[in-house]
Structure 1
Amino acid sequence: MSSSYVLRGRTALVTGATSGIGRAIARNLAGQGAAVVLHGRDQGRGEALVKELAAEGAKARFIAADLSDAEDTLRLAAEAGAVDVLVNNAGLYELASTPATDAASFDRHIAVNTRAPFLLVGALAPAMAERGHGSIVLVGSSSTRMPAPIGAAYGASKAGAEILTRYWATEFGPSGVRVNAVSPGPVHTEGTRAMLGEHIAVLDSVNARGRAGDPAEIAEIVSFLAGPASSYVNGAVLFADGGERGALPT
């Protein structure tokens, strides 16, 4: 845990908090002193993380919800209660070509990656605005600016959430609520390992940094955007992708 409790007295809701980047974000925010509301689908993993954080002196509780369901998403917001920090991290990705993506798959991407953040912000940001402070952070994706031959539905859903972030910054900024996004490039997580299998090493050759990111590195950026050190940052999309590769000499 960090010795810098800049978020002491604040409550943070992190969606998709039981694994990967979301788990790292939840741990980092807890280390900053925030009471963390953990969201996920797996009750067992959620409760295990609550116990883990409690053993380290942090305050945490878990709420299970299906973000593909609008009513369940609104229930999550209601049960979370008054929050000072909202991290829209949960995401769905089914990387397929456009012909191989049916309407149901497209709708799932939009529901989880675009509609769920929209509903959560709509439910939670007004109370932040009434209190005169708050920070909302979206975990986006480099797919919004680096198209690939597959994954168009995923990229579109993330691009939608990214533009919403800019709208929300304009809508809620005058009331003291900042809204920003971090756009990660390749990151080593359970999800990427499951997706790439034996080809996981390819992640370490796609950027100028020469390696994929670690979830903890993305979590540090989210905590910066959530905390007072970024008080003049609003409507920004911070790229955390290791840098684009330069052209090879010819």
Structure 2
Amino acid sequence: MGRFQGSTVLISGGARGQGAVEARLIVAEGGCVLLTDILDAEGEALAAELGPAARFLHHDVTEEAGWARAVSAAEALGPLRGLVNNAGIYIPKTLMETDAALFERHTRINQLGCFLGMQAVVPAMERAGHGSIVNISSTAGLRGSPGAIAYSATKWALRGMTKAAAIDLAPRGIRVNSVHPGPIDTEMLKIRTPEENAVRTRLVPMQRNGTAEEVAKLVLFLLSEDSSYMTGAELAIDGGASL
């Protein structure tokens, strides 16, 4: 029997990248997944690949009503015991290059979306008996990150929100932890040139980018009962980049 037998996990931004790998591993361990994203074709294809244990739902994480629909769809698959707040954007600009609209777009998707997700799943997790929330932050939420002020602001916010929510939700049997990836070999890196990414990789003590599979395995640990005495923790997975 797998670690997620009889449980459903809701993954926002689950159509590709880290979210997609997490979904595959959860299903492989007996769980069900509700994938949400705005990338409909990729999300539908992934759900079809995973079979009856997976469903896809078009979902804008900034809309409160959308979260209610997502929770309902997840519970239709089984008791909702996991949430991965994975949806996010990364549009790196310096302080002087960033306008108010770009800053607000980051805060709505990366920060408000996470807040709405945590709030939305609490009643369902209480009905399920317990739950685990994993917020995907970044090493940009652990240290200064050049040329990415809006992104950094939201990832620092997730770090604080995780700790506050962990305190609030512990009496309800819900754990909340944050994961802080460094450079991971996914679509998100394509916003920078190969040369810029190479420079960044050379700054990583382990001298390589991480993989979506490495992040997914950490996320699954936090979702599972293997981490049953962990809440409010912040775990860097970055090859030493935040040291």
TM-score of the aligned structures, taking structure 1 as reference length: 0.89
Partner residue of 1:32? 29
Match of 2:210 among 187, 204, 213: 213
1:19 aligns with 2:13: no
Matched AA of 2:187: E
Identify the range of structure 1 (10-19 vs 66-75) with the bigger mean alpha-carbon deviation.
Answer: 66-75
Judged with a 3 Å threshold, the aligned counterparts in structure 2 of structure 1 residues 41 and 245 are, in CA distance, closer, same or farther, namely closer
Cα deviation 1:71-95 (Å, max 9, x = unaligned): 4344433433352100001111111
Q: Is the 8 Å Cα contact of residues 39 and 62 (structure 1) preserved in structure 2?
A: yes
Match of 1:59 among 53, 57, 67: 53
Secondary structure of 1:85's match?
strand
Matched AA of 2:237: A
CA distance in 2, matches of 1:178, 1:60: 24
Q: Is the 8 Å Cα contact of residues 203 and 212 (structure 1) preserved in structure 2?
A: no
Judged with a 3 Å threshold, the aligned counterparts in structure 2 of structure 1 residues 134 and 146 are, in CA distance, closer, same or farther, namely same
Matched AA of 1:189: T
1:116-131 equivalence runs, <5 A: 116-131=113-128
Provide runs of 4+ in structure 1 moved above 6 Å.
none
Q: Give the gaps of 5 or more residues in structure 2.
A: none
Compute the RMSD of aligned alpha carbons. 1.9
Partner residue of 1:163? 160
Partner residue of 2:42? 45
CA distance in 1, matches of 2:61, 2:172: 27
1:181-200 equivalence runs, <5 A: 181-200=178-197
Partner residue of 1:231? 228
Matched AA of 1:109: H
Identity, % of aligned positions: 37
Cα deviation 1:173-229 (Å, max 9, x = unaligned): 122111111111111111203433454333432221111100000000000000011
Q: CA deviation at 1:105?
A: 1.1
CA distance in 2, matches of 1:93, 1:210: 22
Judged with a 3 Å threshold, the aligned counterparts in structure 2 of structure 1 residues 149 and 208 are, in CA distance, closer, same or farther, namely closer
1:80 aligns with 2:82: no
Q: Is the 8 Å Cα contact of residues 9 and 74 (structure 2) preserved in structure 1?
A: no
Q: Is the 8 Å Cα contact of residues 88 and 138 (structure 1) preserved in structure 2?
A: yes
Paired residues, number: 240
Partner residue of 1:101? 98
CA distance in 2, matches of 1:110, 1:65: 17
Q: Give the gaps of 5 or more residues in structure 1.
A: none
Secondary structure of 1:138's match?
strand
Matched AA of 1:172: L
Matched AA of 2:53: K
CA distance in 2, matches of 1:77, 1:98: 37
